[in-house]
Amino acid sequence: MIKANDPSLVSWVEVKQGSDFPIQNLPLGVFKTEQLEPRVGMRIGEFVIDMKSLQVLGYLDNLPFAPNAFDSSSLNLLMKKGKLASRRLRDRVSDLLEKDNTELQNNEHHVNQVLIPIEQTIMLMPVEIGDYTDFYSSKEHATNVGTMFRDPNNALLPNWLWIPVGYHGRSSSVIISDQDVHRPKGQTKPNENEPPVFGPSRMIDFELEMAFITFDGKPLGESISTAEAEDYIFGMVLFNDWSARDIQKWEYVPLGPFLAKNFASSISAWIVSLDALIPFQVDTPEQDPEVLPYLAYEGKKSYDINLQVGITPNGAEEKIVCDSNFKYMYWNMAQQLAHHTVNGCNIRGGDLLGSGTISGPTPDSYGSMLELAWKGTKPIQMPDGSERKFILDGDTVTMRGYCQNDKVRIGFGEVKTKLLPAK
């Protein structure tokens, strides 16, 4: 067992019961304050650990990180050192925060420098994202969409059970939680017998996803196997793949999503390491037909991550519209990365790979409004008396995620985004 995962660990830093960020988590992110320029942080409870200060004060000596790795507006420099170095960093900080370790806790001046209350911080985009790929890996979601728009008896396209389907997205419009999104404009075709029209999308949807962020991969021309994949995954975030369904319907044939997707995608601020998630590994759903050899794998490659989506109308009460779980995904991350690189495509540190919409087997676990309201035929009733077929201007969509067993809870916080009117 990785030392920092020990469920018996308790920190001298107060952590409230049910917190997403106990000592067993220690996710990484980037923050600033009114006084401090952007820098790397770790999260424990309601505090951000200033990693630059921790290093300057000498607590991270003997770790293979240059001074500017923590004095940075992204985690990309830190990630250059790879998985083992990231593991050593998490172990070291865990040791410093453990209740019986007096090395830091007995130095009040240092503690006040290092621990910053979360309410004093502004969270920033944690990585510079070079490339972004989005998959389509939930069998339930793909079946629902195929049922709605094609033949219910042949809902899955012929390739779906053979390859982790994906497309290349736009990294420049990936945004951090709490950054607002404007309703996009584009071409739609509301009447099949008339020409298309231009204007604001009328069918804005969320897609409940998670995403993983990579370390540097292999050189161009080499592939990453399913057995190696986890060594190239830095960690995971919550991911809202915003979609304009009416724009998407008109544009996606023959080359797939374009303007319907590239206006915005939202991620949570804290990157949870795969190491922290090891206690929550579970089996991937049974795959039939048997996958081709390069997609075969051994062991537990999925994760039991509880997921929730809420919609909050402007000035009104939140409505929880979805309760799902990452474990429902048919194609796991190891298979996604192996498929992505099998042709020799190279990945780089900071690349973002989205899971695809996460839908479960029951209507309350569907991961998009398209499914929850079933193409607008089953509107969702809101506490204020209004109803939703899709997301309206002024609505805030909040996604939350956490793992939990009888010993520890490891959470991702939330990704929250408000939809504003079109410009």
Taking residues 70-89, report their average pLDDT: 98
Determine what percent of the chain is predicted with pLDDT higher than 70. Answer: 100
Instruction: Kindly tell me if the per-residue pLDDT of 265 is higher than 90.
Output: yes
Domain with CATH 3.90.850.10 in the chain: 132-420
Band (67; pLDDT cuts 50, 70, 90): confident
Per-residue pLDDT of 139-184, as tens digits, reads 999 999 999 998 899 999 999 999 999 999 999 999 999 999 999 9
Domain 132-420 has CATH 3.90.1640.10: no
Q: Is 340 part of the annotated catalytic residue set?
A: no
Domain with CATH 2.30.30.230 in the chain: 3-124
**Mean of the per-residue pLDDT values for the chain?**
97
- d(Cα 366, Cα 323) in Å, to the nearest integer? 8
* pTM across the whole model: 0.97
Per-residue pLDDT of 9-37, as tens digits, reads 999 999 999 999 999 999 999 999 999 99
Which residue among 109, 141, 339, 340 is the active-site one? 141
Q: Which CATH architecture has domain 3-124?
A: Roll (2.30)
Taking residues 412-417, report their average pLDDT: 98
